Structure 1
Amino acid sequence: MLPTLPGVATIAQTIALSLSPVFMLAGIGALLNVLAGRLSRVVDRTRALEQLHPRSTGPEHDRHVWELRLLDRRISIINAALFLAVSSAVMTCLVVVLLFIATLTKLHLGTLVALSFILAMLLLILSLCAFMVEVRLSLRAVHVRKELLR
């Protein structure tokens, strides 16, 4: 007996089910774009300060060291956020693949699909939390120094 392939309606239903994760991928892509842009700006600022650092003395030197430490911390946080967002995207892709495998093979992978989606969401949440921490950290360097306001 030949195995029966799923009908067009079943495939169409699977495609419809996979649309939500695909929209999530679009959102993750936008987040990755923002994170990469922030990382680029932080790296540019770091390079500029690294040029000024050897020629500075006194309070200006201390300020450069402080900002370089802050920038180094921001780079680490953005890298973590990028890793988490990409991991979330990979898990989201796995959800879509599992949906189609389950449909084509008639396997009952509902629990695995659900757990994969939950993991994708948790990774995305962690990425967004890291992004929020980095934004808060970046605001430390944005404030006008008190000595300039006197």
Structure 2
Amino acid sequence: MNLQLSDIGHVIQLSIAPVFLLTGVATKMTLLLNRLGRIIDRTRVLREQLRKGPDPECHEELDVLYQRWQLINYALTSSTGCGLLICVIIAALFLGDVTSYSLDKSIAGMFVLAMVGLILSFCFLLREVFVSFRYMRLHLHERSHA
């Protein structure tokens, strides 16, 4: 195992792109966690209103919030899996350089899986936004006819 400085420099160059990708995934997770926090806060407010008495509008909104909560959780799980795979890819790049193991196919496979996780995360986020917009449109439509 003759490790040369130029090899380490090359591996660091290769790992820069996944590091930037990891930064983007972390930023996306912050957005998802903020949306989740708003959903939780709104759920608490509605539960307090329901303690005062039954309200069909509160139940309807809670159902929508629960659906949104599930979608955000799926998006967070997908993003977390993506981030974890990116970290493993970075470690595998260094491990493959330091050892004589050929990890090219494993790294490529993990990268594809990470991209699938990222794509799924975006799909879940988009679905959550659509659910939110649909509820707002229906709610505004009902108010305009009342």
For the aligned pair, the TM-score class normalised by the smaller chain equals over 0.9
Measured in 2, the distance between the counterparts of 1:131 and 1:148 equals: 27
Q: Out of 97, 114, 137, which is 1:120 matched to?
A: 114
Q: Which digits, 9 at most, give the CA deviation of each residue in 1:3-58, with x for residues without a partner? A: 42x2111100000000111000000011000000000000000110111123345x
Q: For 1:137, give the aligned amino acid.
A: V
The match for 1:48 is: 45
Please give the TM-score of this superposition, normalised by the length of structure 2: 0.93
Measured in 1, the distance between the counterparts of 2:17 and 2:144 equals: 51
Q: For 2:132, give the aligned amino acid.
A: S
Q: Out of 18, 21, 28, which is 2:15 matched to?
A: 18
Residue 136, structure 1, aligned to residue 133, structure 2? no
What CA RMSD, in Å, does the superposition of the two structures yield over aligned residues?
1.3
Measured in 2, the distance between the counterparts of 1:44 and 1:55 equals: 18
Identity across matched positions, percent = 32
Measured in 1, the distance between the counterparts of 2:132 and 2:119 equals: 20
Measured in 1, the distance between the counterparts of 2:49 and 2:134 equals: 20
Measured in 1, the distance between the counterparts of 2:131 and 2:143 equals: 21
The match for 1:73 is: 67
The match for 2:140 is: 145
Measured in 2, the distance between the counterparts of 1:23 and 1:98 equals: 17
Partner-residue secondary structure (3-state), 1:107: coil
Q: For 2:144, give the aligned amino acid.
A: L
Q: How big is the shift at 1:129?
A: 0.5
Measured in 2, the distance between the counterparts of 1:139 and 1:124 equals: 23
Residue 85, structure 1, aligned to residue 82, structure 2? no
Structure 2 unaligned segments of length 5 or more: list them.
none
Structure 1 unaligned segments of length 5 or more: list them.
none
- Say how many residue pairs are matched: 144
Q: Which structure: larger Rg?
A: 1
Partner-residue secondary structure (3-state), 1:138: helix
Measured in 1, the distance between the counterparts of 2:128 and 2:90 equals: 31
Partner-residue secondary structure (3-state), 1:149: helix
